[in-house]
Amino acid sequence: MIDLSGKTAIVTGGSRGIGRAIALRLATQGADVCISYRGNAAAAEATVAEMAAMGRTAFAVQGDAAEPDAAKALVDAALARLDRIDILVNNAGITRDDLIMRMKPEDWNDVIATNLSGAFWTIKAATRPMMKARAGRIINITSVSGQAGQMGQANYSSAKAGLIGLTKATARELASRGITCNAVAPGFVLTELTADLDPKLLDAIKAQTPLARFGTPEEIASAVAFLASDEAAYITGQVLAVDGGLVMM
C-alpha cells in the first residue's frame, strides 16, 4: 500500500472533479493537503472537511491559477501551515472549446494562461523550498488531447501539449536536487466538464477506447498517488497515460 504518512501536498484546482479525487486520495494515503480553488468556496470547504475527517491537516486557498502572485501566495500559505512542500500536483484547468476559425483571442489566452502558465507559476514558486529540502514530487495533469490533439480544442490541446514539454524540462532541471517531475494524461473521464457532452459523442468516444468505457477520477488519483510515492523514486520526465488505451505511444 502506498504510504504518504508525514508528507505534505498542494493540489491546484482541488475542490471538484479530478482534483478533488486526487486531494482525497493523497489524504487517504496519509498526506496533509492544501488545495487551491478559483470560485467555488463551498465545494472547496466540503473537500477540506472530508480530508480533515481523516485526521489530516487540510485547508483551501482561493486564487486564480493564471496569476503569478496567486501561485506565490498559495505556496507561501502551504509553507506557513505545513512547513514544507513534498508533493505538488498541478491540476487546475479550464476549457473554452471552439473551432480555430471561430475561437476568440480571449478564449485562447485564458486557457493557455490557466492550464499551462498556471502550472509554470506554481512550479516556479515551489522550486526554492523543494530544492532546499533536496526532495520533491511534481505531478502535472495533462491530457490525451495534448498527446493526440482534439478538434475544437486547439487552445486546450496546445496547453496540455505544452505541459508535457514543461514536465520534461522541469524533470531535467531539478533532477540533481532529488526532485522528480512527471505527468498523468487522463483519457475521457466523467466529471462536470464532460457531463454536458452529447450522448452520441460519448458513445463514439467509448467505441474508440479499447477498454470501452470512461475513466473515473479515482483512477486518475491512483496514478498520481503512485508517482507521489517512494515507489516512483526512479521515475522522472515521464507521461503516464490513464486513458483505457485511447492513445498508445
Tens of pLDDT along the chain (249 residues)?
A: 799 999 999 999 999 999 999 999 999 999 999 999 999 999 999 999 999 999 999 999 999 999 999 999 999 999 999 999 999 999 999 999 999 999 999 999 999 999 999 999 999 999 999 999 999 999 999 999 999 998 899 999 999 999 999 999 999 999 999 999 999 999 989 877 666 677 887 888 888 899 988 999 999 999 999 999 999 999 999 999 998 898 886
Q: What is the dihedral of CA 93, 192, 156, 220, to 10 degrees?
A: 70
Three-state SS at 198: coil
Beta bridge partners of 34: 10, 59
- How many beta carbons lie within 10 A of that of residue 70, not counting itself? 21
Burial class (CB in 10 A: 0-12, 13-18, 19+), 90: buried
Lookup: cell for 135: 526532495
Q: Return the active site residues.
A: 156
Q: What is the pLDDT of residue 249?
A: 66
62 residue type, one letter: Q
